[in-house]
Structure 1
């Protein structure tokens, strides 16, 4: 059977699958206009994750979906909020705004939700603290985090801990920040804690300890493909920081 016929059959089968399963019609145009790329993308993003709900499959779906429709999650969160102005929808939209660096919008979502029975909600308080930090208000962010822990002493969140340590750095409370990072970097799942800790050590003129942390990040990235793919920009920055330090020591 000619290759053209096989390709056409695959395209038709995928288009039928797209329509039957209610997928975004964007996929139809992608499969028709760029058959090879469109077919591979659709299989990886839509079909494989359905067959296997593995962490890798889900990550691939998110990555490619963001490439083709980078504002999908934000748009969906906005639609939900417009359909029903609930605290849950505000929180979701606030999170998506944070992901996009829309800190003023995020602040409005979280701040307006901290009322009534939700006045002491730790997730809302954390979201507001993240928005304040993104807006360049580390003092206010730290105040919110201190209040969060006072009201919710059992609340544990690695992103909240990282944010608190970064607030201390921004406020030039070096010793307190180092104490937080000493604990944080041992359990934080990504490279961010080690990276920001290394930056702090550079500021404190401790290049040797900073280099050790940068090297730990790169060693983990070499061993763990998933870790590497999730943190590509930060790993690139880590390589640049390590190169700069090595140059300064020679």
Structure 2
């Protein structure tokens, strides 16, 4: 009975939305009777033909296709680049390579694209930082990061965190610590702060690391359910690290 009542109210709700939409659009002569007398079918047909446009449907279909068959997406992007060798087509393909773990191929395209007007392209340089990190090319990260260091987006970006880690790996511990401190803001950037805690542990600042991890754990209790879900991975890792250092 409970399920039936909820189903009933759901249908009424759908009918109300569709009826309001079709009257506002002036489509009532064509649709209103279908919505009223075939409530579920009529509402679904109306939603997919009148409320969701063709571009949106194509976007959903494209996303599903890319998830199920990523190699098909790559082939399409490769064909598009062969047909039109533009900067945008190159970078779109490189981004797809990077997403699929074909990092060397992505790096090749990114590096070849840094010419002319695109020598300092922020998107390409940011992607290169991530790609170099996967390949542990820490010196290259430091060089590239300095080119976009003063960009507004860089200050709290993941690329800034990678830059700090690269500084540590290349021996500049003091500079790495300074960069991590710049990203250590409360109630935000939990991946950055988790990595900072690990950095502190690696450099024998165990008590500082513990205090940071405890601060993050305390902050979790004050966040909304959505914020906790978004950062669950880092909260779990922080708790595991606290157990290790207890």
TM-score range (shorter-chain normalised) is: 0.5 to 0.7
Structure 1 vs Structure 2 CA RMSD: 3.9
Give the structure with higher Rg (CA).
2
Counterpart in the other structure of 1:229: 229
Task: Give, in whole Å, the separation in 2 of the partners of 1:94 and 1:71.
Answer: 20
- CA shift at 1:104, angstroms? 2.1
- CA shift at 1:88, angstroms? 2.7
- CA shift at 1:195, angstroms? 0.6
* TM-score between both structures, scaled by the size of structure 1: 0.65
**Is the CA contact (8 Å cut-off) linking 1:90 and 1:113 kept in structure 2?**
yes
SS at match of 1:111: helix
- CA shift at 1:202, angstroms? 0.6
| Structure 2 residue 17 is matched with structure 1 residue 18 | no
Counterpart in the other structure of 1:124: 124
**Is the CA contact (8 Å cut-off) linking 1:101 and 1:134 kept in structure 2?**
no
Aligned pairs, number: 205
- Residues 94-243 of structure 1: matches in 2 within 5 Å? 94-146=94-146, 148-149=147-148, 153-154=150-151, 156-157=153-154, 158-159=156-157, 160-186=159-185, 189-224=188-223, 225-243=225-243
For structure 1, the 5+ residue unaligned runs are 28-64
CA distances 1:76-129 after superposition (whole Å, capped 9, x unpaired):
687466435432343344345444444223313322321121112232122112
Task: Give, in whole Å, the separation in 1 of the partners of 2:68 and 2:189.
Answer: 24
Counterpart in the other structure of 2:26: none
Task: Give, in whole Å, the separation in 1 of the partners of 2:151 and 2:236.
Answer: 36
For structure 2, the 5+ residue unaligned runs are 12-37
**Is the CA contact (8 Å cut-off) linking 1:107 and 1:131 kept in structure 2?**
yes
- CA shift at 1:173, angstroms? 2.8
SS at match of 2:120: coil
**Is the CA contact (8 Å cut-off) linking 1:18 and 1:24 kept in structure 2?**
no
Structure 1's 25 and 70: CA in aligned 2 closer, same or farther, altered over 3 A? closer
